[in-house]
Amino acid sequence: MPEIRPAMTLEAWCAEADEVLKLNLHPRAQHSINTLPQPVKRVRLLIGPEGGLSSEKIAMTGEHGFTDILLGPRVLSTETTALTVITALQVRFGDLG
């Protein structure tokens, strides 16, 4: 079940220490959900705003251990992306509970 938390800065959120697979959706990424290693128990998923993250913010996520992944050839709206990615992750990894 996804956890929804209060607003915080992107850098503070990215810097939080945890043992999860950290993913950043990026339309020009080299990896896809299907190329991620298994098994995975928990995922920290970053979905940027409409128009995407700045190159500086993308670099910052990399410094915090995030892997850029490509969802596919389409750029989805922010509202539908979360549901689409969670569904794709559950198809790939099963219930991430």
Which CATH number goes with the domain that contains 42? 3.40.1280.10
Tell whether 12 is covered by a domain: no
pLDDT for res 66: 94
For the chain, the domain total comes to 1
In whole angstroms, give the CA distance from residue 79 to residue 22.
20
Domain of residue 48: give its range: 18-93
User: What's the rounded Cα separation, in Å, for the pair 27 and 14?
Assistant: 19
CA distances from 85 to 9, 17, 56 (A): 22, 23, 24
Q: What is the pTM of this model?
A: 0.81
pLDDT by 10-residue block (mean), the chain, 97 residues: 85 90 89 86 87 90 93 83 88 73
Whether 36 is covered by a domain: the verdict is yes
| 43 touches 92 (CB < 8 A) | no
Please give the Cα distance from 37 to 7 (Å, whole number): 30
Q: What pLDDT does residue 71 have?
A: 86
On whether residue 76 sits in a domain, the answer given is: yes
Q: How far apart are CA 25 and CA 31, in angstroms?
A: 10
